[in-house]
A and B are shown apart, each in its own frame.
Chain A
Amino acid sequence: MPNRVLTFWRQAGFVAEEAVASVTRSGWMSGIVVITMTVSLLILGGIWQLSDDLYALTRAVGAKVEIMAFVAQDGDTAQLASAIDELPGVASTQIITKDQAWQQLQQEMKSQVDFSGLLQDNPLPDTIRVKVQDPADVAPVADKIQALPGVEGINYGHDLLAKLEQIMAFVQMAGLLVVGALMVATLAVTGNTIRLTVQARRREIEIMQLVGASAGFIHWPFLLEGMIFGLMGTLLASGLLVPWRSFLLIRLQELFPFVPIDADGLAMVRLLSYLLLVGMGVGALGSLFSVRRHLVAASGQ
């Protein structure tokens, strides 16, 4: 029925008009809600980035860890290397023949020791240098390599890895806890502030009900208003987060040029869309709870 469609669009227009008018009309109250929102989102975003960066950092360091597999005298080095390559979690392998190793060692030691005549036979084994995809996989992959026939022994940074794993787990846990707590706090604080603006408009709610607006319809201007608060808070928070982030990244890269911090814009876009989602969601939820109270109170139930 075109009539119903028309009515719907007029009501949608009314909702948008009311929401925008309300944001501007309740001036300083809106300001407080937006500022509360901005601060919460800033902290949320900051923590998020920090835990992201720390995680990236530990991964980057972890990625430097390699497994050295020493091939037995009678082992087939090339075949072993391709077998290791097939193992799940392995990123790449590189063969260092005993001759290469011998030469390298001689070169490194040249100034200190004269090898000529000291040792005629090369005592070194062939070595396969293995890189793994995920630093967390180093230990299990190392175990698997050791179990392969023809492997004489392996070597990798046990202690460093264990530490890194601890740090990663801690960063993830702490980040999750802090972000979770902050979400709750954001909801409580903004919800409360929005409740004030809704309370200031309880007469509007009452009159809408008296003239026969449906309960569902009455929610919408308030929901939209909450989302507008969320949008404004996110925009403001982004306006501070993005420059700060760029600045921080530049400084960090100067300090640790070897650390490949995820500097692409994509991570930032992802973070900002999360913040937008959280901001608008919290705004809408805060409004919803506050309106609902008044609705139930005025319907004679």
Chain B
Amino acid sequence: MTDGSAPSGDGAAGNRSHRFDRLPATTEDRRVPDRPTRTGVLEWWDERFGVDPSVFENHTFWERGSGKIWAFAGESPSPVDIEGLGVAFLRTRREHWKPTLEAVQRFGGHATRNVMALSRAEAAAFLAGEDQERDWDGDWGYLVVAHELAGEREPLGVGLYVHGELRSQVPKGRRRDFRED
């Protein structure tokens, strides 16, 4: 798999909002200061959630706008100016990186750490955007929130655990209220 070492991929122009730039493989290949690297992204998923880097061997990572990382399984030169490239995957602008709901639903099944399993009623509250008090002996910060569906644990979205509380990070457009069902 090739990576962001392509000379065209990392020009002096830095981040332009409509353009996708492939992430450089490592910090040595990096030409835009502070741009995350493929290695950094793989290490983060591994450290935070125990997702093995091989899970992403068919995907390249791209930045569009500052700190918005996308995962793409196809082939494209870099940079490329188009409307979409795979799925929005990770936010890296703040100190604590935050996975998207789409990334967690698509790849969170491989997580072995920092996965909080909810009951059906708790999952309904989470999906409705409700924050809930909970005990948790894992790390604080962003978690994969899962519940059981059709006999298996299934990742549902991203939660933020702080101060004894699970805060739902389900984006407004993706919330549903199944609490009465």
Partners in one complex: no
Question: Using a CB–CB distance below 8 Å, which chain A residues touch chain B?
Answer: none
